[in-house]
Structure formats: C-alpha cells, structure tokens
Amino acid sequence: MAATEAVIVRAPAKINLELRVGPVRDDGYHELATVFHAVGLFDDLTARATEPGAGVSITVDGIQADAVPTDDSNLAVKAAQLLAAHIGLESADVAFELRKGIPVAGGMAGGSADAAAALVACDALWHAGLDREQLLQLAAQLGSDVPFSLLGGTAIGSGRGELLTPVLARGEYTWVVALADGGLSTPAVYGQIDAMREAGEAPQPTPVPELDDALMAALRAGDAEALGSRLHNELQPAALALAPHLERALEIGRKVGALGGIVSGSGPTTVFLARDSSHALDLAVALTASGAAVDVRRAHGPVPGARLVESVRG
C-alpha cells in the first residue's frame, strides 16, 4: 500500500441553541446542559507527511489568521501530539496548513474544530485506525467542545460539554452569523457569570441544569419559528457585560424580524435564525450597514462533524 502523503479535513463551527450553566464543579468547570448545532462555517486543515523526527509545524491563513498561535499552544498541534503519544509514536511528524473560516475566539469552537480536524487528519495520515469512540475520548482531553466538533449535526451536551447524545432533529436552518471586533476569553465569560450570580445580578443556577422541552420539541418538529423563540444562552448576560456593544447587533436582529438571536457560546459572535435565504440576506445587509458587525456570514445547519475530504497517496 502506498504511503499517504497528505490529507485534507474539514471541520465545522458550532453554535449552542441552548446553553444552561450549572454551578462550578470541584474541577473548576461548570456543569452544562446544552444543545450543540454544527453550522456551515468551516476550517480546512491540510496535513502533510514530513521527515521522521521533524515534529509538528503549522501555518495559518484565512480570516483572523494573525490571532491564531502557531506554537505548541495551538490546539491542532496539541491534538497531533496527543494522538502520537496514544498510538506510541516517538515523534508526531506532520506539517499542517490551516485555513480559517471560523471566527477566532468567537464562541463558535474554532480552536476545537482545528483539534478535531487534526485528530481525524493524523489518524488517516499515520494509518492509526482509531475508531470513533477512541477519537472522542482523545477529543475530550483536548477541550470541552472538541468531541462535538468531531460528531457534528445537532447533539445534547452534558458534563462539561463533552458527553454527547445526538438529537433527532428535522429540517435545515438558515443562520446569519455576525462577527464582532476582537474576541472574548471563555474563562473570563464563565468567571463573569459566576460573579454576577454571586452579586445577585443574574439568576442563581439550578444544581443540575436542564434543557427546555419546548426547544427539543421544536427541533423534533423542524419548526424554525418555535426554535427561534426558544434559543437561550445563560452566558449571554456575562458576554454582554464584557462587550455591551453586542446589544446593538441583537437589537437589529429583532428589528429585521429574526426568528431568534443570541450570543454564540461565550461570544462575542452573535447568531440569528432567518426564515429563509432571502430573509438571511436582509438580516446580513442590515447588520453590515449598521456597523454592528465587522463581518457577516450566512450558514446552514446542521452539517457533519470533522471529516476527511481528500487524501493524496504517494
């Protein structure tokens, strides 16, 4: 069998249709109940075979590429090292080229998508033959959202977000994604919600966070209008406290009749559910013209998780 020279893996962004945040656990994470939904903004990762002992290298281009680290703190690099150690390779030898299509530090799991892509890419490049369960376990070690970036579709997340149950959701949804200036740090946003709860500025968490039955029913029925009205993010008040200007994008979404609009995850990206493609265009134009967003994308969901799109054999 000819050796694999290069592979290309495509991984999607996620939004949280619902995000319920419980109390802080002993390990410092928050217990979550969330509904993940993969949407069609993608990072593409090319992984090329290199000389034995060369180690991992990465170059980055695409949107906000300058904000992505290219050292060992890059999650794709960490993923390659973790997988190499797991299968007993002495050196993780791979050259990555990453093309960003997912906002950086935007609350859309862009770094997690890259980690998931790197796991799938290195598994193929090194002929590791790991099954989905093994990849999901490695993913959970890399970050709370990485398992979902592998799985894609629509799924319930519990624990710190890494325990997944796929949701039988009907329908395809049209989203408008509004990018904001700069990023928000996820730990800072979680810290902010804790502080607001302590000060009585946000509702107290229930010991075990629970999902809204009506949102799940809307997904089962493929009812976009009902889904839009039930979108909910308990991190939103914290993200808005740290980035008050996001309120303007939410206000424009309401004015232009979005079926729903929320801050995505820990923000600062905001997402809006449109009735159809032409409504999505109206929303995109209004968000751009107002200056409430630095860039606007339209995306469909759900889409699959990280997957191999090309493989080149020598």
The DSSP secondary structure of 25-77, one letter per residue, reads -TTSPEEEEEEEEEEEEEEEEEEE---TT--EEEEEEETTGGGS--STTSHHH
**Closest CB to ligand C5P among residues 110, 161:** 161
Beta bridge partners of 100: 62
Q: Is 60 annotated as a binding residue?
A: no
Question: Which listed range, 65-73, 143-151, 234-242, 293-301, lies at the site for ligand C5P (CB under 6 A)?
Answer: 143-151
The residue from 100, 145, 213, 223 that is catalytic is: 145
Residue 29 sits in the site that holds ligand C5P (CB under 6 A):
yes
Residue 160 sits in the site that holds ligand C5P (CB under 6 A):
yes
Minimum distance from residue 225 beta carbon to ligand C5P (Å): 30
Q: What is the C-alpha to C-alpha distance for residues 242 and 234, in angstroms, rounded to an integer?
A: 14
**Closest CB to ligand C5P among residues 198, 247:** 198
Q: Name the DSSP letter for residue 155.
A: E
Q: Is 314 annotated as a binding residue?
A: no
Beta strands in the chain (DSSP E): 4-24, 30-48, 56-62, 94-100, 154-158, 163-166, 173-179, 232-233, 260-263, 270-274, 295-301, 307-313
Q: At residue 196, what are phi and psi to the nearest 5 degrees? A: -65, -35
Q: Is 264 annotated as a binding residue?
A: no
> Which one of 74, 144, 149, 154 is in contact with ligand C5P (CB under 6 A)?
144
Question: Which listed range, 43-51, 186-194, 290-298, 301-309, lies at the site for ligand C5P (CB under 6 A)?
Answer: 186-194
Distance of CA 194 to the CA centre of its chain: 22
Polymer length of the chain: 314
Residue 233 sits in the site that holds ligand C5P (CB under 6 A):
no
Decide if 100 is catalytic. Answer: no
Q: What is the C-alpha to C-alpha distance for residues 144 and 107, in angstroms, rounded to an integer?
A: 13
Decide if 145 is catalytic. Answer: yes
**Closest CB to ligand C5P among residues 145, 234:** 145
**Closest CB to ligand C5P among residues 18, 145:** 145
Residue 197 sits in the site that holds ligand C5P (CB under 6 A):
no
Minimum distance from residue 265 beta carbon to ligand C5P (Å): 10
Q: What is the C-alpha to C-alpha distance for residues 83 and 210, in angstroms, rounded to an integer?
A: 34
Distance of CA 112 to the CA centre of its chain: 6
Count other Cβ atoms within 10 Å, centred on residue 72.
Answer: 11
Minimum distance from residue 179 beta carbon to ligand C5P (Å): 20
Residue 14 sits in the site that holds ligand C5P (CB under 6 A):
no
Minimum distance from residue 32 beta carbon to ligand C5P (Å): 5
Closest CA to 34 of 18, 14, 15: 18
Handedness of CA 298, 253, 180, 157 (dihedral sign): negative
Summarize the annotated binding site for ATP as residue ranges: 103-113
What residues line the site for ligand C5P (CB under 6 A)?
29-30, 32, 143-145, 160-161, 186-187, 190
Please give the positions annotated as active site: 14, 145
Summarize the annotated binding site as residue ranges: 103-113
